[in-house]
Amino acid sequence: MKLSIVTTLYCSSPYIDEFYERISKEAKKITDDYEIIFVDDGSPDDSLQKAVALHVKDKKVKVIELSRNFGHHKAIMTGLSHAKGDFVFLIDVDLEEEPELLGRFWNELQKSEDIDVVYGVQEKRKGNLIEKYTGGLFWKIINYLSNIPIPHNITTARLMTKQYNSELIRYKESELFIGGIWADTGFQQKAITVKKMSTSETTYTLRKKMALLINSITSFSSKPLVYIFNIGLITTLLSFLYILKLVFNKIFFNIAFEGWTSLIVSVWFFGGLIILLLGVIGIYLSKIFIETKNRPYSIIRNFYGEE
């Protein structure tokens, strides 16, 4: 198999047919030996039925039906684990990333044998001011807490060699941050600036974005635990110095300990801080609990096409 094309489906019904026509046209410019893998991530609309209909018409189309909605990143990893091509092209189906990027990425990949991955970086973030600001803030926080640099504003679209993809799918954690493991896998990667279209309203609400941020940090970086230790150490030192000051004032200046209001405020402040830090530790413990179960990150209900 020369080329595998992988995409995921969730409320994707309006885009499937056009995506199939455009991506097939691009693939045929490169080779006739290709496959298109659709991963249905428990989509509530008729995305699965449309994809299966394409499989019936064209055996180059394969459809993986997951047993429920596992999430975009886990669906991606499931699709990549079934790709057989010497080159694997990953892209979202919603046409915000143009299928024609396949040809552009292919040309870049062929320019040098040393390049293992060509991936897209948004020319500018789409959406309103709040979406742009929160998106930019997300990548700044992630990079601040990450031990390795992660490119800002990366897109799903990327063309990978079989060797890179084989190493990528070795990541088996249940709670994964795919942008992080793309970078963590290493190899020679080249960024290409792309324009991301706005074809649909984002399904990432503020609540989902916050959940994604927390999951990305706690599943990919241990730095918050180091910061918790530093906060505890600094707080202890400051408290100890303040106690010395009070004792010094009492012994040498006979100044009594006063200030019930400040005492209560301090209790509330440090009590809240302790609860917050314990919560962070609790999140990490929950990640460990989940990973030790060694559960699969997705479950396939049906596979339409040859395994």
- Give the integer Cα–Cα distance in Å for 206 and 211: 9
Sequence-distant (6+) residues with CB within 8 A of 303 are: 62, 63, 64, 65, 82
In the predicted model, is pLDDT for residue 137 greater than 80?
Answer: no
pLDDT at 66: 94
Q: Which residue has the higher pLDDT, 201 or 281?
A: 281
* Full residue range of the structural domain in which residue 257 is found: 223-292
- pLDDT tens sequence across 222-259: 677 677 777 777 776 777 677 677 677 767 777 665 66
Is 60 within the bounds of a domain? yes
Taking a C-beta distance cutoff of 8 angstroms, is the pair 160, 87 a contact?
yes
pLDDT in tens, 185-194: 888 899 888 8
Q: Are residues 92 and 191 in the same domain?
A: yes
18 and 87 assigned to the same domain: yes
Residue 215 pLDDT grade (very low, low, confident, very high; cuts 50, 70, 90):
low
> 0.75 cut: is pTM over it?
no
HSE toward the beta carbon, residue 9, CA cutoff 13 A: 30
Task: Please provide residue 156's backbone torsions phi and psi, each rounded to the nearest 5 degrees.
Answer: -70, -35
* Whether residue 229 sits in one domain with residue 151: no
Please state which of the ranges 29-38, 71-80, 283-292 shows the lowest mean pLDDT: 283-292
pLDDT at 235: 72
**Taking residues 19-36, what's their average pLDDT?**
94
- Candidate from 24-38, 156-170, 231-245, 293-307 with smallest mean pLDDT: 231-245
With a cut of 60, say whether residue 265 has pLDDT above it.
Answer: no
- Residue 218 is inside which H or E element, if any? helix 206-220
Sheet with 300-304, strands from edge to edge, namely 189-194, 117-122, 154-161, 87-90, 3-9, 34-40, 61-66, 300-304
d(CA 15, CA 23): 12
Q: Do 188 and 272 fall into the same domain?
A: no
Same domain, 110 and 32: yes
pLDDT band at 129; cut points 50, 70, 90: low
Q: Is residue 22 domain-resident?
A: yes
Q: Rounded mean pLDDT of 201-218?
A: 62
